[in-house]
Structure 1
Amino acid sequence: MWEILNIIGTIAFALSGVLVAMEERYDLMGVYILGFITAFGGGAIRNLLIGVPVTELWDQGPLFITAVLVMTAAFLFPGILKWTLLKRGVFFDAIGLGTFSAQGALFAASMGLPLSAAIAAAALTGTGGGMVRDVLAGRKPLFLQKEIYIAWTLIPGVLIGSGFVTSDIGAFIIVVSVVLLRLASVVWQWHLPQRRLPVDEKTREPDD
C-alpha cells in the first residue's frame, strides 16, 4: 500500500505542478521543475523532519521516470488536464493530499515513531510539495486559503499513527475520505472558525 500511495501521489502532484506551471505560462523546463518540486518536495521535507537522509529520494528512480513521462504527456497533450473541473489544479492536489498524507503517516508508523511524528509526517508529506509549488509560482499557498486543507491530514495522521488503522483497505478508505473531504470543502467552501481582532475605526488606515 505504501508503494501504491507513493505512485498515485507522485502522479497526482506532478500533474498539479504542470497545471499550475501552464496557467502561469512557464516554459517546458519550468513545467518540469514545478512538477518535480510538487511531487517530491513533501517527501524531502518529511525526511528532514524525522531524521531520514534526504539522499534516499535519489533511490526512487522509477518514480522520477514516471513523473517525467506524466509531465511530458501533459505538456504535449494539455487537453488531458481539462477534465479536472476545479480551478487551479485542486482536483489533482486533493488526490496528492490524500495519498501523500496517508503515505507519510505510514512511513512514520513503520519507523516506530510516536503519534506526534505521524501527524507531522502526514501534514508535511501531504502539503509540503504544494506549498513550495505555490510559493515559486507566486500564489497564495492552498493550505493558507480559507477552505479546509491541512486539517484533513489529521485524519490519516491520527488513525494510522495511533495504530487504529493498520490494514491496506483501511488506508485506502482514509485516502478516499481525505480526497472527497478536500474537494467538498472547496465546492461548498467549508472553512474553520476564524477570529479577528477588533479594529478601532478612528485609527484604522484606509485600504489600498
Structure 2
Amino acid sequence: MTWEIFNAIGTIAFAISGAIVALEEDYDILGVYVLGMVTAFGGGTTRNLLIGVPVSEIWDQGPLFMMAIFIITIVFLFPSGALKHWGRWGTFTDAIGLSTFAILGAMHATEMNHPLSAIIMAALLTGSGGGIIRDLLAGRKPSVLREDIYGAWAMLAGLLIGIDLVNQTWGLYLLFVAVVTLRMLTVKYGWKLPHRQFTDQKKAHM
C-alpha cells in the first residue's frame, strides 16, 4: 500500500509539473502531454536502467498512465487566469514529486539488495530524472544540475533509507514530509550549493 500511495502521489505531482512547464513554454497540446508524461515516468525509467530492472516494466503501470493523462487534460483545460498563480504551487508539487519518487527509488533499490551507492543514485535519478528530461525538452537548464539545492535532498532520502535509519511505514511518511519541507525552505530562503562562476573569472583575466 505504501508503494502504491507514493507512486500515485508522485505521478500526479510530476504530471502537473510537466504540463505546466509545457504551457509556460507555449507548447501545443501534444507538447503538454509529452512533457507531462516524461516528467511523471522519466525518473522511474532512468532508475530501472540504473539498477537493472527491465525498462519494459514501465508499460505495466496502466492505471498510473491513465491517471497521468487525466491530470494533464485537467491542467490543459484549466482557466488561464488561475494558472498565472502557478509559480508557488508549481514549486510545491515539484517538491512532492521529488520527495515521493526519491523514496520510491531508494526503496526499490533496497529491495533488490543493491549497495548504498546504488540506493542513493536510485533516489537521485528517480526523484529528479523526470524533471531533468522535462527541463531539457523545454529548453531550460535542469534545476538539479545548478547550484539550487534539489537533488541533494533526494540523495539524503536515499542515504537514510540505505543505512536502514528509515524503514517503517510511519518513518517513510515522516521522511516524505521532511524532504518536501526542506525543498520548500530551499526555495524560500534561496539556499544554494557551492558553485564557481568560471565565465566571470575568465572575463576578469582578459
Shared fold, TM over 0.5: yes
* 2:25/2:138 contact within 8 Å kept: yes
Question: Distance in 2 between the 1:122 and 1:105 partners?
Answer: 5
In structure 2, do the counterparts of structure 1 residues 45 and 203 end up closer, same or farther at CA, with 3 Å as the change threshold?
Answer: same
Question: Distance in 1 between the 2:143 and 2:125 partners?
Answer: 13
Question: Distance in 1 between the 2:150 and 2:29 partners?
Answer: 29
* 1:37/1:129 contact within 8 Å kept: yes
Question: 1:159 maps to what in 2?
Answer: 160
Deviation at 1:193, TM superposition (A): 2.4
Question: 2:88 maps to what in 1?
Answer: 86
Q: Which moved more, 1:74-83 or 1:181-190?
A: 74-83
In structure 2, runs of 5+ residues without a counterpart are none
Q: How many aligned positions are there?
A: 203
The aligned amino acid for 1:24 is: E
Question: Distance in 2 between the 1:158 and 1:186 partners?
Answer: 22
In structure 2, do the counterparts of structure 1 residues 61 and 203 end up closer, same or farther at CA, with 3 Å as the change threshold?
Answer: same
In structure 2, do the counterparts of structure 1 residues 46 and 97 end up closer, same or farther at CA, with 3 Å as the change threshold?
Answer: same
Partner of 2:93, secondary structure, is: helix
Identity %: 54
Structure 1 residue 104 and structure 2 residue 98: aligned? Answer: no
In structure 1, runs of 5+ residues without a counterpart are none
Question: Distance in 2 between the 1:37 and 1:18 partners?
Answer: 10
The aligned amino acid for 1:114 is: P
Question: 2:186 maps to what in 1?
Answer: 185
* 1:148/1:185 contact within 8 Å kept: yes
* 1:84/1:91 contact within 8 Å kept: no
- Using the size of structure 2 for normalisation, the TM-score is 0.92
Q: From the two aligned structures, give the one with the greater helix fraction.
A: 2
- Over aligned residue pairs, what C-alpha RMSD do you find? 1.9
